[in-house]
């Protein structure tokens, strides 16, 4: 009898690999092509995009881990009755209002940009997980308990799979807010990253600005097609 893990079979279809390949290649070809036909430096554009993507990725990973930990520790039962309204309050703080505080602590640095993005990515993920916990059927909770899923085992074998679809949808929203935060802060105060690239291009050359925006859109589209769509499809398996 076969018991092989079906965990990531969504990524193993040949058609998907081809699409993925095309989707990765597209932004790269585009950036290189620009370098050929215009005065925009391919290297500057690629480095700018890469740097922003790196910031986004780090902020996302921190947000994801923090959201799961907060939801698991403070998001349900009696503790949850106290903390969920607190989260709600914190979430309502406009993150741009926090910029001066972050700048005060870190200056306009990489850490500051990541922290700022984290402060906006965290919430959609956290609240998606919390609502998944809240709407979970009580008998499923009981079955997990009766069959021994307690403590850390409960987190990894019950709570995380239970909230997997919520983590995906929360992440999609979080990432899009994250892009805004990263690009916003790069335009406001940083000297590098795609936001700063676009900002300086705006003053110099319309063509450069357009190429920059298109490159960014292609990257966002690729990530969406490559990572989130298959995960979203997989998450349908998690519903009854």
Partner 1 sequence: MPNETVLKIEDLSYRVKEENRKDFEILKNISFDVGKGEFLSIVGPSGCGKSTLLRIISGLLKPTHGRLEINVKKMAMVFQNFAIFPWLTVSENIEFGLKMAGMPTKQRRMIVDEKVAEVGLAGFEKKLPKELSGGMRQRVGLARALAVSPELLLMDEPFSSLDTFTAQKLRTDLLNIWEKYGMTIVMVTHLIEEALQMSDRVVVVSKRPSSVKQIHEINLTRPRDMRSEHFFSFIDKISAEIEI
To the nearest whole angstrom, how small is the minimum distance from the Cβ of residue 145 to partner 1? 6
Q: Which is nearer to partner 1, 57 or 136 (CB)?
A: 136
Query: How many residues of this chain interact with partner 1, rule: CB under 8 A?
Result: 26
Structure tokens at 121: 């990515």
Residue 70 CB-density burial (10 A; 0-12 exposed, 13-18 middle, 19+ buried): middle
Contact flag: residue 111 with partner 1 (CB under 8 A): no
To the nearest whole angstrom, how small is the minimum distance from the Cβ of residue 79 to partner 1? 17
Calculate the dihedral angle through the C-alpha atoms of 25, 205, 117, 227, rounding to the nearest 10 degrees.
Answer: -20
| Member of 37, 97, 146, 152 binding partner 1 (CB under 8 A) | 146
Contact flag: residue 85 with partner 1 (CB under 8 A): no
| Member of 21, 137, 180, 202 binding partner 1 (CB under 8 A) | 137
To the nearest whole angstrom, how small is the minimum distance from the Cβ of residue 238 to partner 1? 4
Contact flag: residue 147 with partner 1 (CB under 8 A): yes
DSSP characters over 137-203 = -HHHHHHHHHTT--THHHIIIIIHHHHHHHHHHHHHHHHHHHHHHHHHHHHHT-SSSHHHHHHHHHH
Q: Give the C-alpha separation, 51 to 56, whole Å.
A: 9
Contacts with partner 1 by CB under 8 A lie at 1-3, 6, 137, 139-140, 142-150, 153, 157-158, 161-162, 164, 237-240
């Amino acid at each position: 009898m076969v018991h092989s893990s079906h965990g990531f079979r969504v990524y193993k279809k040949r058609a998907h690999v081809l699409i993925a390949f095309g989707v990765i290649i597209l932004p790269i070809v585009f950036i290189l092509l620009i370098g050929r036909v215009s005065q925009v430096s391919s290297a500057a554009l690629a480095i700018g995009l890469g740097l922003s993507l790196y910031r986004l990725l780090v902020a996302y990973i921190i947000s994801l881990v923090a959201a799961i930990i907060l939801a698991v520790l403070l998001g349900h039962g009696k503790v949850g009755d106290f903390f969920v309204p607190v989260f709600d309050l914190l979430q309502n703080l406009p993150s741009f209002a926090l910029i001066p505080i972050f700048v005060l602590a870190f200056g306009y640095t990489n850490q500051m940009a990541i922290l700022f993005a984290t402060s906006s990515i965290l919430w959609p993920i956290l609240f998606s997980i919390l609502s998944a916990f809240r709407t979970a059927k009580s008998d499923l909770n009981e079955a997990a308990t009766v069959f021994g899923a307690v403590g850390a085992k409960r987190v990894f074998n019950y709570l995380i799979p239970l909230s997997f679809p919520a983590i995906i949808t929360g992440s999609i929203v979080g990432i899009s807010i994250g892009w805004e935060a990263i690009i916003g802060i790069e335009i406001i105060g940083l000297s590098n990253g795609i936001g700063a690239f676009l900002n300086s291009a705006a003053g110099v050359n319309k063509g450069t600005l357009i190429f920059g925006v298109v490159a960014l859109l292609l990257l966002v589209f690729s990530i969406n097609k490559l990572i989130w769509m298959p995960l979203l499809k997989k998450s349908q398996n998690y519903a009854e």
